[in-house]
Chains A and B, each alone.
Chain A
Amino acid sequence: MPSVDEPLVSLDDVHLSFGDNEVLKGISLQVRRGQSVSIIGPSGSGKSTLLRCITGLIRPQRGEIRVGGTRVDQLRSEAEFIALRRRVGFVFQQYNLFPHLSVLDNLLIAPTLVAGRDRAEARREALALLDKVRLLHKQDAWPGELSGGQQQRVAIARALAMRPELMLFDEVTSALDPEMVGEVLHVIRELAAEGLSCVLVTHEMRFAEEVSDEVVFTEAGRVVEHGPAARVFHAPTSERTRAFLNRSLDPSRAPVLPQRPVELAGMRFAI
């Protein structure tokens, strides 16, 4: 049994290529139990691929991946993968609810079918989860009848229904209209506050800063910088991190970064 001190998730020098295209070039990171870690970075830096490695949907060519004592990169049989995925919840950018099942059935199918839980008990839990994401009144609705934000909240509840130790969120608000982003982030904020271990890939910088214990900045398949959220966002050590944050943050708002003054012709300029 892993001790409380041992990290829940650890990646060690993970390399992954799709054909000739090397997407992950030696990623190492750790997530402790109860922590939330955000992964930020430009598109194409391999963030989503990273998440899929953790849950065994993609296999790296090199490196070690551990989730709570299981060596994910060494799993072989379907039964082993299933055992892992029962402990790791995954929420996708495109929600991916099953359109032929009602909202409640979407939450019930995995616990009853995969985990073999008693249907009545699973139903009670599912309804409690729907209540938690404030969609109890939509239990009999069909996914196609819900808005994007509602579907994503159901997707989160569906992943939670398996009682996972770890939750992975893959850019879960990127496909939503702006007015629906808030309701989904609210749910994640609550989950993180309750002590759920999670890894979020996100473009929502302010949210990442608010909710994460640690932030990891990846670029071009490598970890450029990682550390406590406050430090990475306000005092990044790497120039590339600074450049990315400058590009990403809304320039119309007050700058989060301290300016580096430059002296030129006797006058001080902020750059």
Chain B
Amino acid sequence: MADALLHGAVAALKPLGLNYAFVLDAGERAAFLRGMGVTLELCIAVIPGSLAVGVALAAALTSGRAWLALPARAFVEVTRNTPTLVQLYCAFLVLNMLITQQFRQFGAGNPLTPFVWVFIVVSLHKGAFHAEALRAGIQAVPPAMLEAARSLGFGRAHLLWRIELPLALRFALPSLVNNVVDLVKMTAVASAIAVGDVTYESIMIWTNRDNVLELLLLILLYFGLLTWAVARAGRWLEGRLRMPGYGQ
């Protein structure tokens, strides 16, 4: 049944000049679907990963202690002002190579796969952007609000968790959602170090079949779907965390 549908679809697209024959080949079809799965896995992994990094960095940046804030600031500036691809190469080609050499001395294999490296690098990279958004959010909390809470007898911990952070999150939310949309798109860079994401599998297929346009269209549709899903989730979250009438 599904097979007949696929044949029909491929035949329908042929007159448009689009060659989707690869879909009919079980091996290539499976590879492409696998790639879609890997991309999805990456997205699901890096979203919380980058947010965790962002929260930790934001805490360090606003801690008021120089030994925490200065290294955090240096890390954020270097990560935000250098390309993700170069960071990925530095991590994978350089760091990973050094780690593999160390492991070889002990006669063991390097457990860190390219997937893990993409997860680490992209989480750290976007974490820096999240940190800036959160830091701006924290600084946007009006001091008068904190004074009001203190005058009601709030202790420091309650002040942070019930007033300062909820408000900072609401202020930072639009930026954070934008960052996550960027994050989804950034996973495509995984193909550069042969992680089998949807981009990489597509490259494998089009190298054989020379149907670049067709595959790019599919990839665009897939990423469009993912970014749409993230934007929807973001809008839902913004609705849940709304502050009606604020700022008027």
| A and B assemble together | yes
Measured CB to CB, the residues of A under 8 A from B are 55, 57, 78-79, 82-83, 85-86, 88-90, 92, 94, 96-100, 109-110, 113-115, 142-146, 158-159, 162
Q: Is the CB of A99 within 8 A of B167?
A: yes
Q: Is the CB of A144 within 8 A of B248?
A: yes
Which residues on the A side are within 8 Å of B104 (C-beta)? none
Which residues on the B side are within 8 Å of A55 (C-beta)? 151
Given A85-B150, A144-B245, 7 other A-B residues pairs in contact with their CB atoms under 8 A: A57-B151, A96-B148, A99-B167, A99-B243, A100-B166, A113-B158, A162-B152
9 residue pairs A–B, Cβ–Cβ below 8 Å: A55-B151, A82-B153, A85-B153, A86-B153, A90-B151, A98-B148, A98-B167, A144-B245, A162-B152
CB distance from B141 to the nearest CB of A (A): 10
| Binary per-residue interface labels of chain B (115-159) against chain A in the complex, 1 for a CB within 8 Å, 0 otherwise | 000000000000000000000000000101101111111111010
The verdict on B162 contacting chain A, using a C-beta distance below 8 Å, is yes
The verdict on B203 contacting chain A, using a C-beta distance below 8 Å, is no
Interface bin, chain B: 20 to 34
CB distance from A94 to the nearest CB of B (A): 6
Complex: A240 Cα to B206 Cα, angstroms = 90
Q: Is the CB of B152 within 8 A of A114?
A: yes
The verdict on B170 contacting chain A, using a C-beta distance below 8 Å, is yes
Complex: A98 Cα to B158 Cα, angstroms = 14
Which residues on the B side are within 8 Å of A86 (C-beta)? 153
Which residues on the B side are within 8 Å of A98 (C-beta)? 145, 148-149, 163, 167
CB distance from A77 to the nearest CB of B (A): 10
Complex: A90 Cα to B144 Cα, angstroms = 12
Which of these, A89, A92, A109, A162, contacts B144 with CB under 8 Å? A92
Query: Do A57 and B150 form a contact, CB below 8 Å, given A98-B163, A142-B245?
Result: yes
Which of these, A94, A114, A158, contacts B154 with CB under 8 Å? A114
The verdict on B247 contacting chain A, using a C-beta distance below 8 Å, is yes
Q: Is the CB of B247 within 8 A of A110?
A: no
Complex: A128 Cα to B245 Cα, angstroms = 25
Which of these, B142, B166, B244, contacts A145 with CB under 8 Å? B244
Which residues on the A side are within 8 Å of B154 (C-beta)? 82, 110, 113-114
Q: Is the CB of B170 within 8 A of A57?
A: no
The verdict on B246 contacting chain A, using a C-beta distance below 8 Å, is yes
Which residues on the B side are within 8 Å of A79 (C-beta)? 155
Complex: A78 Cα to B150 Cα, angstroms = 10
CB distance from A67 to the nearest CB of B (A): 13
Q: Is the CB of B247 within 8 A of A144?
A: yes
The verdict on B241 contacting chain A, using a C-beta distance below 8 Å, is yes
Q: Looking across the interface, which residue of chain A has its beta carbon closest to that of B150?
A: A57
Complex: A110 Cα to B151 Cα, angstroms = 10
Q: Looking across the interface, which residue of chain B has its beta carbon closest to that of A146?
A: B245
Complex: A142 Cα to B150 Cα, angstroms = 21
Q: Looking across the interface, which residue of chain A has its beta carbon closest to that of B169?
A: A100
CB distance from B137 to the nearest CB of A (A): 12
Q: Is the CB of A100 within 8 A of B153?
A: no
Query: Do A85 and B144 form a contact, CB below 8 Å, given A100-B166, A100-B167, A114-B158?
Result: no
Q: Looking across the interface, which residue of chain B has its beta carbon closest to that of A97?
A: B148
CB distance from B97 to the nearest CB of A (A): 49
Which residues on the B side are within 8 Å of A82 (C-beta)? 153-155
Which residues on the B side are within 8 Å of A89 (C-beta)? 151
Q: Is the CB of B245 within 8 A of A143?
A: yes
Which residues on the B side are within 8 Å of A83 (C-beta)? 153
Complex: A109 Cα to B243 Cα, angstroms = 17
Q: Is the CB of A85 within 8 A of B147?
A: no
Q: Looking across the interface, which residue of chain B has its beta carbon closest to that of A151?
A: B245
Q: Is the CB of A110 within 8 A of B246?
A: no
Q: Looking across the interface, which residue of chain B has its beta carbon closest to that of A115?
A: B153
Q: Looking across the interface, which residue of chain B has its beta carbon closest to that of A92?
A: B148
Which of these, B145, B151, B155, B244, contacts A78 with CB under 8 Å? B155
Which of these, B149, B152, B155, B162, contacts A159 with CB under 8 Å? B152
Give the interface centre of A57, A97, A114 by most chain B CB atoms within 10 Å: A114
Q: Looking across the interface, which residue of chain A has its beta carbon closest to that of B244?
A: A142
Q: Looking across the interface, which residue of chain B has its beta carbon closest to that of A111?
A: B152
Complex: A124 Cα to B239 Cα, angstroms = 29
Query: Do A57 and B155 form a contact, CB below 8 Å, given A99-B167, A100-B243, A144-B243?
Result: no
Which residues on the A side are within 8 Å of B144 (C-beta)? 92, 94, 96
Which residues on the A side are within 8 Å of B241 (C-beta)? 100
Which residues on the A side are within 8 Å of B155 (C-beta)? 78-79, 82, 114
